[in-house]
Structure 1
């Protein structure tokens, strides 16, 4: 079924457009040669699509820290104008972290966004959010995340979207799947997710997940030291930015703002000489 949905348009083009925030931009998967200094699962999916079926084009409009309303305002029409064959969307995670968010109103806007994308005829891929167990500080957000995931599942079924149920991936209980901020995936996490997306689309791929020995258990002192470092390096700066009304994405542009033809060999690395990293 998905293979038919991924068939070319009337003009023979196949276009993959990625929408969202840091999750889709690729934060946590560092690559100094690529735009915005990151790679991420969406780039990897685009590369594997081109390997399986040369001719795919790819655009990634996602920017870290964007809220759902900003994704609708800044990415929706631009993405639809590219006449996509495939759209991936993760949006709303940053809104969940904002204490003043009306989660029910948020999900109404989310459904509006998905409905617009589905009406375009593109195959739409949606994601639930993972239950990141980083600290008791964020436990109050767990109920919001559960409500978000329930609504995402309902919306995916209503609009016949492909659902990547990130919530259910036990592999992400391994701390090595996460960046040092504990909120964004590491390179290994992005690779694993790329494989899951391709599997859901029924696309053959060569993405191999990292195989590790069991993670070493930290002692009480090491855990405490790590927790203090995390609060100092990530939590306090996050709240400071919220107080100032600024985000890490304010001065960034989309990584791939226009559809680029993905070379089936060497992938997007072939294009890096033409696109300077920010």
Structure 2
């Protein structure tokens, strides 16, 4: 029985891909990958990711548990929440990230890392682009050092289309998570982790026609978004709280996950 374990923050928990029947009420790309793995082969799946977690928290709260579960493949993406904090010491954090990846690699576990998304077209997050570029270069150096797999989110330009994103503009929506699942399965298949490329098992939704909004309508949408999503996000940053503070991992133990699992 092969074991796939996912760890990290909201990206891997599945925020933006709503599903009220699942733990934490989200599905996400990792669940979608696991569904294909479990349907196609002898796989089990666990997911320790929780929204809002920073690199240090992933190391302190998820790494030891993940190692004790002895996965065959572990996916790891953390750092987005650190990049958003200009005072965070990215160099020191990435040294810790390196040490974490080394522990998995030394244990003989196949590691899948992610680069960060290119925010060049984001009015809100474009100023974080230089820090994301540094993060990505560090990730690629770590991948070279420990011979890990890389899902190169930065270079997958399809995700620049706003229709792949959730209404909060912070996370991928259902279409984005579905596309990411296909991309990850392609990486796993290309590198022989799976017996063949199973990405075709993922049916990526057809995107709706792009909305064309008048200037006044767009302004009203932006103001509504700022009230509903941006203001609470800023408040959490100022108060040192996280949307994941009251949540537990979706799947802390291995399961056989099907598309209808809850």
- Find the counterpart in structure 1 of residue 194 from structure 2: none
Deviation at 1:213, TM superposition (A): 5.7
Q: Which residue of 118, 141, 166 corresponds with 1:179?
A: 166
Deviation at 1:98, TM superposition (A): 1.5
Q: Which residue of 222, 228, 253 corresponds with 1:227?
A: 222
Structure 2 residue 63 is the aligned partner of structure 1 residue 57:
no
- Find the counterpart in structure 2 of residue 38 from structure 1: 26
Q: Which residue of 8, 15, 21 corresponds with 1:20?
A: 8
Structure 2 residue 253 is the aligned partner of structure 1 residue 258:
yes
Aligned length: 254
- Aligned residues of 1:174 and 1:215 also touching (Cα < 8 A): no
- Find the counterpart in structure 2 of residue 4 from structure 1: none
Deviation at 1:259, TM superposition (A): 0.9
- Aligned residues of 2:55 and 2:97 also touching (Cα < 8 A): yes
- Find the counterpart in structure 1 of residue 198 from structure 2: 204
- Aligned residues of 1:17 and 1:58 also touching (Cα < 8 A): yes
For 2:71, what is the secondary structure of its paired residue?
Answer: coil
Moved >4 Å (runs of 4+): none
RMSD, aligned CA: 1.5
Question: Which whole-Å deviations, capped at 9, do the CAs of 1:166-205 have from their partners, x for residues lacking one?
Answer: 1111211211100111110000100000000000111324
Q: Which protein, 1 or 2, shows the higher relative CO under an 8 Å CA cutoff with sep ≥ 6?
A: 1
For 2:260, what is the secondary structure of its paired residue?
Answer: helix
Deviation at 1:208, TM superposition (A): 1.5
Structure 1 CA distance, aligned partners of 2:127 and 2:183? 29
For 2:93, what is the secondary structure of its paired residue?
Answer: helix
Deviation at 1:136, TM superposition (A): 3.4
Q: TM-score, normalised by structure 2?
A: 0.92
For 1:269, what is the secondary structure of its paired residue?
Answer: coil
Unaligned runs of 5+ in 1: 1-12, 273-278
Structure 2 CA distance, aligned partners of 1:72 and 1:183? 23
For 1:45, what is the secondary structure of its paired residue?
Answer: helix
